[in-house]
Structure 1
């Protein structure tokens, strides 16, 4: 069966049987309960925590996204293809041009304009639009970079965008290659803060691969390399450093170590207080709101809904990109559900869906949340039906 027609439990069972494990043996290897595996495989439960999914994936020697069923569900935009993005990343001919290309490189100014537009599509949740443009954009950046070293900077961002799309469409290994290429391109420039942000993206990709410890270590190595003097540093430097520390906090929190995550959060909060405002530098974000967002996320993942909801009250939606706010709303909805405030959880999840239906259906956390919301009700209301349609696999 394809991922589009299977449940989490069915995918788990297929991979378990492929390895020749009994439920008890898999539970022992993964360090989870047999009851969890049994309920998932019988579809009594349709979701699990990310930490449990990572443990099971590790025990089965697969990526967590295989169990989550991550796949490409792009809007039907002409030319939109996650495979085309992957092929642009894993391309044996580094300067292969489209047959209709005249061979003249795009100007550096035009490349930056195209990069700006591509980030607008990504943060707006328009993954199909972005996937349609990325192969050509990567090609144009490569072509100019062969003649003008300054084009390595926009090229690094094109690779970053490719990695981001590939994560959302279930191609984490290709995403890691794209993130490495982004780092390599950024190294050719003289902007150490841009390079640091690309390390941060690689940390995010590794986290999706279930490599939390490596993600944390890399984030802090990159942060240590640019650690600012808070009294004298430029705001951009503080923001990039703070973003890396937040990445380490999320990685540590994903392992269940809330105390360790809180140590990082305190460091990030001090940097955010020094800034006094939320910033967007190199298309990454940091500031008081983003510390609150990640605190909410970590506490939600740790099943501490009261602390998550308290942290969420410090989030200022103004200035947040759609996908940033949408992901936060999913955490808030989950925390509300754990507090048995089901109607509020439904309403919050619906607000996330309304921000971008295309982004929403690519979120495995949205799918598990919706199924858990449905499980709390004896009858589907209109809002729940809309949410179920929002996570349906085409």
Structure 2
């Protein structure tokens, strides 16, 4: 295994049930208490920020409980940008929890209600990610290229948010390129992303609705991922080794994904203890996250198959990622 092409299997029954109230809220918003004061835009923004913190710690069960009220409140404040961010957060969480069809619908709504292209691009980025996770590479590529062209900034005038949104789309074009054997396009896209990251000069959040980041470290993590996927594990680990530690939101999904890339590289090199160490750490840091990662399941399966020894530690990991053994 060099890296998964997609996570196409949908969520299991328990995950689908967990997010049922959110799907219901999207289809039929919860009733407003006539005796309660309606939420203000400031209160909705505060709740969005609070839930962004929960997203960084991967508290999905808690977020699934709180999100219906936030969806209701955001629909009533008359702020299109804020509504788009809440819908974008919902789409990100549904994608993270492998509910592809519902995620696509809510992300399309987030794009439609956005009041500017940078806000819309946040939802588009998640839509691209949703397609990549399903292995729909051509659809992901076309959407990312369309929007990268659409929001291309002037480097001398662009805001940090505009530059980060644009650079993030180029990272998706790069990751599709390496998965789809488009080597030249991958290198060109990485060059665009590096230019944007250099212009910003630091790690920043790309939007208010997720914990997605962009900057020089994120670009190097993407380079390591590409090397692991391309079957160049030594290069992947060398890039990881020379890249400064990520101190900004170190438990965000993208940072955890980088640790899976390192586990993948260790597995390709037959370094079982190092691979298992990364996986165990991820299980301790973010058990709700790793359970939803087909990539993690593939790595554990590869270790078990190639190592040919099923230790208690490996059984625990297999159970965590829901791998039959």
- Calculate the TM-score normalised by the size of structure 1: 0.74
Q: Aligned partners of 1:98 and 1:214: how far apart in 2?
A: 37
2:246 counterpart (312, 317, 323): 317
Cross-structure match for 1:50: 4
Is 1:342–2:267 an aligned residue pair?
A: no
Q: Aligned partners of 1:110 and 1:387: how far apart in 2?
A: 40
Cross-structure match for 2:195: 270
CA contact (8 A) 1:243 1:286 kept: yes
2:99 counterpart (167, 171, 194): 171
Is 1:136–2:69 an aligned residue pair?
A: yes
CA, structure 1 residues 73+287, in 2 after alignment: closer, same or farther (shift >3 Å)? farther
2:180 counterpart (255, 261, 265): 255
* Offset of residue 382 of structure 1: 4.5
* Offset of residue 321 of structure 1: 4.2
Cross-structure match for 1:357: 287
CA, structure 1 residues 71+256, in 2 after alignment: closer, same or farther (shift >3 Å)? farther
CA contact (8 A) 2:122 2:206 kept: no
Cross-structure match for 1:43: none
Is 1:298–2:226 an aligned residue pair?
A: yes
Count of aligned pairs: 319
Say which SS state the counterpart of residue 303 (structure 2) adopts: helix
Cross-structure match for 2:150: 225
CA contact (8 A) 2:30 2:68 kept: no
Query: What per-residue deviation string (whole Å, max 9, x for no partner) do you get for residues 24-53 of structure 1?
Result: xxxxxxxxxxxxxxxxxxxxxxx79533xx
Q: Aligned partners of 2:110 and 2:103: how far apart in 1?
A: 10
CA contact (8 A) 1:333 1:346 kept: yes
Q: Aligned partners of 2:24 and 2:176: how far apart in 1?
A: 29
RMSD between superposed Cα atoms in Å: 2.5
Cross-structure match for 2:18: 81
CA contact (8 A) 1:72 1:362 kept: no
| Unmatched segments (≥5 aa) in structure 1 | 1-46, 55-63, 75-79
Is 1:162–2:99 an aligned residue pair?
A: no
CA, structure 1 residues 253+276, in 2 after alignment: closer, same or farther (shift >3 Å)? same
Cross-structure match for 2:11: 70
* Offset of residue 336 of structure 1: 1.0
For residues 277-296 of structure 1, the aligned pairs below 5 Å read: 277-283=202-208, 284-296=212-224
Q: Aligned partners of 2:274 and 2:49: how far apart in 1?
A: 36
| Unmatched segments (≥5 aa) in structure 2 | none
CA contact (8 A) 1:183 1:195 kept: yes
Say which SS state the counterpart of residue 156 (structure 1) adopts: helix
Cross-structure match for 2:42: 109
* Offset of residue 256 of structure 1: 2.8
Higher deviation after alignment, 198-207 or 375-384: 375-384
Cross-structure match for 1:200: 125
Which structure has the higher relative contact order (CA within 8 Å, separation 6+)?
Answer: 2
Query: What per-residue deviation string (whole Å, max 9, x for no partner) do you get for residues 187-235 of structure 1?
Result: xx2x332222222121112222332122122212212222222233222
CA contact (8 A) 1:327 1:352 kept: no
Say which SS state the counterpart of residue 300 (structure 2) adopts: helix
Say which SS state the counterpart of residue 76 (structure 2) adopts: helix
CA contact (8 A) 1:333 1:344 kept: yes
Q: Aligned partners of 1:293 and 1:102: how far apart in 2?
A: 50
Q: Aligned partners of 1:390 and 1:378: how far apart in 2?
A: 19
- Calculate the TM-score normalised by the size of structure 2: 0.89
For residues 375-390 of structure 1, the aligned pairs below 5 Å read: 375-390=305-320
2:256 counterpart (307, 323, 326): 326
Query: What per-residue deviation string (whole Å, max 9, x for no partner) do you get for residues 329-363 of structure 1?
Result: 01110011101111111111112222111111111
* Offset of residue 371 of structure 1: 1.8
CA contact (8 A) 1:115 1:154 kept: no
